[in-house]
Structure 1
Amino acid sequence: MFRRIAALGFCVLLLGGWHAAQIGPGPGPAKGASTGWPVPRFESFRSDQIYMRAGPGFQYPITWVYHRYDLPVEVIGEFNVWRHVMAPDGGTGWVHEALLHLVRSFIVTGKRHAMRAGPHSGAAPVAYLDKGVIGVIRACRADADWCRVSAGHRNGWLKRSDFWGSFAGEEIR
């Protein structure tokens, strides 16, 4: 009888530990198992030819090939030197860490949007950015709807809702 209770108690502890490992350490952002950095987070492609694979290893087939340098991707998981990423088009797959860098880029979504001289709708336009334009996020305040950005040789402000590449309420410096 004692052995059954002890075995059952061991199983409960084992399953409880496995469940805790699956859901993360508790409140706050989850940490990547390999880097210790927050997951999810945004990074960008380091090359203009990226092979996205079906699994975390070179033995897995290539499912997507991306040809967009600095395309922002959301890192949604980690396994050793592989990153599970989601692209702006919703495609997911695994990319080797060497193909990513920490440049905070954005991609314009929807229709054409004005990059403005200041962080408000009344500011003068400095450029018009079409859907699919990629640029660099220079700064976003956590409590602001506008981010300071660069695209091409232009600098200005873009509404956070006009691009993909940052989380709502995220501060970027």
Structure 2
Amino acid sequence: MTTAPMRRAALLALLALAAASGPFAGAAPRPARAATVGTETGLPIPRYVTLRAREVNVRAGPGVRYPIDWVYQRPNLPVEVIAEFDTWRKIRDPDGTEGWVHQSMLSGRRTVVVIGGEHLLRRTPDTAAPAVARLEAGVIGWLDGCRKDWCEIEVAGLDGWIHRSHVWGVRADEAGK
């Protein structure tokens, strides 16, 4: 004969086993695990992309049923994709803030943002090269490519080179376009 406490313990064990073996219908999806390749796209994780729209909703989780934590209002801001789930990408911004956005709000066309104060955009990748412009922290430039310690960018129609350490949106080991 089974007692009520034994039945309750068996039911709890069964529920724990079911929860561990797979999601229940209607349960929140599990975020993508950290990997070197995205589970949905096969693209590298992490990787840099750009915000496509003037307003981008950032959600607490990967889906429209998750609340909007904040709204980016900075088109072309570089962000880092750190996880994938279905059509959702978990991103990190230059300040380290993370959240989920729909893939349609992201572009593969790359930008970088100037960090750490004012820096010179130079004609060639050399600290002695003539300056093309002075760039303040927060300025966004279109990334053309990088060579060693320098990245070629375009800002407001001006092309030039900036030291890789003065921008966010490109990996230290990244070369080319």
* 2:95 partner SS: coil
Q: Which structure 1 segments of 5+ residues have no match? A: 1-20, 25-29
1:165 paired with 2:169, answer yes
Is the 2:34–2:82 contact (alpha carbons within 8 Å) kept by the matching residues of 1? no
Aligned-pair CA distance for 1:172: 3.1
CA distance in 1 between partners of 2:95 and 2:37 (Å):
25
Correspondences of 1:119-134 after superposition (within 5 Å): 119-134=125-140
1:156 paired with 2:160, answer yes
CA distance in 1 between partners of 2:155 and 2:127 (Å):
18
Candidates 108, 115, 133, aligned match of 2:114: 108
Aligned-pair CA distance for 1:169: 1.6
Greater Rg over alpha carbons, structure: 2
Give deviations 1:54-108, integer Å, cap 9, x for gaps: 0000010111211111100000000000000001111100000000000110001
Q: Which structure 2 segments of 5+ residues have no match? A: 1-31
Correspondences of 1:1-173 after superposition (within 5 Å): 24=35, 30-141=36-147, 144-173=148-177
Give deviations 1:4-49, integer Å, cap 9, x for gaps: xxxxxxxxxxxxxxxxx9575xxxxx11000000000000000111
Give deviations 1:94-127, integer Å, cap 9, x for gaps: 0000000001100010101000001010000000
TM-score by length of 2: 0.80
CA distance in 1 between partners of 2:60 and 2:34 (Å):
23
* 1:161 partner SS: helix
* 1:121 partner SS: coil
Which 4+ runs in 1 deviate beyond 3 A?
21-24
Q: % of aligned pairs identical?
A: 45
Coordinate RMSD, CA, aligned: 1.3
Count of residues in correspondence between the two structures: 146
TM-score by length of 1: 0.82
* 2:165 partner SS: helix
CA distance in 1 between partners of 2:56 and 2:135 (Å):
24
CA distance in 1 between partners of 2:70 and 2:133 (Å):
32
Aligned twin of 2:6: none
